[in-house]
């Protein structure tokens, strides 16, 4: 696809998420809205590159999707011998506040406590994040077939339980928070690999959540974490190629976002003096990186200590993998590789293979390139694969090259 075609595809995808949120409200059905929006997206991708992008892309998609939804409802009513239910009209120029509320309603619909936490996160990533079933499965470390069944069951549960499409009342919010926070952070993480619109969406949703629940440590910690990571955005890519944390020009980092993130992390820590909150602790780790004058001056003792705190409340293989990256900087690649190789359950996680490749490369092992090939096979983003391979092929074996995924 040409550069212009790529730009159109990104625009269609980004606007499609907002159109979907509005159409769910109009139709009352996630499935119907998804099918209608997908049809509108396909039409846009066929016609916009040829005829030009319309002046109001969101309005075009919204009207096209509604027409498709009406056709489906009428056809189904005719098949069943029933009268088609009238569907409300849509405003092709929706108020931005209404769009925001539609998205927030959809987040909370997907994250209803009647669904399992795994189903909540999966459904919201598929629906709000615009990710394919395969991408969601990869991100959540489950087989694609399992994820497809999980998504189908979640949609059926929403329809059968008549789960309302609305922002919950204040007393209902805490029961939804875990799923919503996980979803928002995973959307942000997906954007962090280079999909800027998803990254911005994650930040925006985190701000909305914090505004809804300003005293809740999870909301404070989540917002602090995404801001401290988003602050590095201006330095994360160069001509589309990812720049490692160790090589980034820190003068490009957004000092205002760092200041805001550190203040939010501090508020979160003060509200969790005895029981650590996972998002607040991760924000503290990110703050250690953002406040270091240079990569070489990072306080690795503090980073590892915060990872130890995180493990006390969130002991997962991915957290241990990220801790190993910090150990590699403080204690060397051999110590870190022992920790990485001891982990289980990450064979389908591309960053585990990439971390092994990096550590093996630092140790001068010929197994580094096969490990990188395995990471590529498991879905490591192409830009990261190319960057690591180029380094491995050009640098002297054993050189301390720091090729880990950013985990702070």
Residue 271 lies in a domain: no
Same domain, 49 and 106: no
End-to-end alpha-carbon separation of the chain, Å?
34
Single residue among 213, 245, 280 that ends a domain in this structure: 213
Say whether both 60 and 138 belong to one domain. no
Q: 7 vs 13, 58, 361, CA distance in Å? A: 10, 15, 37
Report how many domains make up the chain.
3
110 lies in the same domain as 51: no
Given a contact cutoff of 8 angstroms between Cβ atoms, the answer to whether 112 and 158 are in contact is: yes
Distance of alpha carbon 237 from alpha carbon 233, whole angstroms: 8
Q: Could you tell me if 341 and 368 lie in one domain?
A: yes
Q: Is the pTM of this model over 0.85?
A: no
Asked if residues 340 and 319 have their Cβ atoms less than 8 Å apart, the reply is no
pLDDT digits (tens, 9 = 90+) for 65-80: 888 988 888 887 777 6
| End-of-domain residue from the set 161, 178, 213 | 213
If asked whether residues 205 and 165 sit together in one domain, one would say yes
Two structure tokens written together for 213: 């629940």
Q: Are 232 and 290 in contact (CB under 8 A)?
A: yes
105 and 189 share a domain?
A: yes
Q: Are residues 202 and 105 in the same domain?
A: yes
Are 119 and 38 part of one and the same domain? no
The per-residue pLDDT for range 274-330, each reduced to its tens digit, is 999 999 999 999 999 999 999 999 999 999 999 999 999 999 999 999 999 999 999
Q: How many residues does the chain have?
A: 408
* Domain co-membership, 120 together with 189: yes
- CB hemisphere CA count around 283 (13 angstroms): 31
Query: Which structural domain range is residue 67 located in?
Result: 1-85
Same domain, 408 and 382: yes
Of 191, 213, 235, the residue that ends a domain is 213
**CB neighbours (10 Å) of residue 51?**
8
pLDDT band, very low/low/confident/very high, at 12 (cuts 50, 70, 90): confident
- pLDDT for residue 86 is more than 70: no
Q: Is residue 306 part of a domain?
A: no
The answer to whether residues 22 and 123 belong to one domain is no
Note whether 139 and 177 are same-domain residues: yes
- pLDDT single digits (tens) 316-375: 999 999 999 999 999 999 999 999 999 999 998 999 999 999 999 999 999 999 999 999
With cut-offs at 50, 70 and 90, classify the pLDDT of residue 84: low
What average pLDDT does the structure give for the chain? Answer: 85
Over residues 209-216, mean pLDDT: 86
What does the CA dihedral 41, 47, 48, 51 come to, rounded to 10 degrees?
-160
Q: For residue 401, what pLDDT is reported?
A: 41
């Amino acid at each position: 696809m040409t550069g212009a075609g790529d730009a159109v595809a990104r625009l269609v995808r980004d606007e499609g998420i907002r159109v979907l949120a509005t159409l769910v409200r109009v139709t009352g059905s996630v499935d119907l809205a998804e099918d209608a929006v997908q049809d509108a997206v396909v039409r846009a991708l066929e016609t916009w590159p040829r005829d030009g992008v319309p002046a109001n892309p969101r309005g075009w998609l919204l009207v096209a999707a509604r027409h498709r939804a009406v056709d489906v409802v009428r056809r189904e009513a005719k098949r069943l011998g029933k009268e088609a239910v009238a569907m409300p009209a849509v405003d092709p120029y929706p108020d931005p506040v209404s769009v925001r509320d539609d998205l927030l309603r959809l987040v909370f619909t997907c994250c209803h406590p009647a669904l399992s936490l795994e189903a909540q996160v999966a459904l919201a990533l598929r629906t709000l994040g615009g990710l394919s079933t395969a991408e969601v499965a990869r991100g959540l470390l489950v087989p694609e077939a399992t994820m497809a069944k999980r998504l189908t069951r979640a949609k059926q549960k929403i329809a059968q339980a008549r789960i309302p499409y609305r922002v919950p009342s204040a007393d209902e919010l805490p029961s939804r928070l875990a799923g919503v926070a996980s979803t928002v952070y995973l959307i942000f993480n997906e954007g962090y690999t280079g999909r800027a619109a998803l990254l911005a969406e994650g930040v925006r949703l985190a701000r909305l959540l914090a505004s809804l629940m300003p005293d809740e440590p999870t909301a404070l910690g989540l917002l602090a974490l995404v801001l401290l990571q988003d602050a590095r955005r201006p330095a994360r890519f160069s001509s589309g190629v990812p720049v490692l944390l160790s090589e980034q020009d820190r003068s490009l980092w957004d000092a205002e976002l760092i200041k805001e993130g550190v203040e939010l992390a501090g508020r979160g820590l003060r509200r969790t003096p005895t029981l650590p909150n996972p998002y607040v602790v991760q924000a503290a780790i990110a703050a250690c990186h953002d406040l270091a004058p240079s990569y070489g001056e990072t306080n690795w003792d503090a980073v590892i200590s915060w990872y130890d705190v995180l493990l006390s409340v969130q002991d997962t293989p991915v957290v241990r993998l990220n801790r190993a990256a910090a150990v590699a900087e403080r204690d060397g690649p051999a110590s870190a590789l022992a920790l990485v190789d001891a982990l289980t359950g990450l064979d389908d996680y591309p960053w585990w293979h990439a971390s092994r490749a990096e550590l093996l490369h630092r140790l001068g092992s010929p197994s580094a390139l096969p490990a990188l090939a395995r990471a590529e096979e498991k879905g490591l983003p192409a830009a990261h694969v190319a960057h690591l391979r180029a380094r491995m092929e050009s640098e002297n074996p054993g050189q301390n090259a720091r090729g880990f995924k950013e985990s702070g």
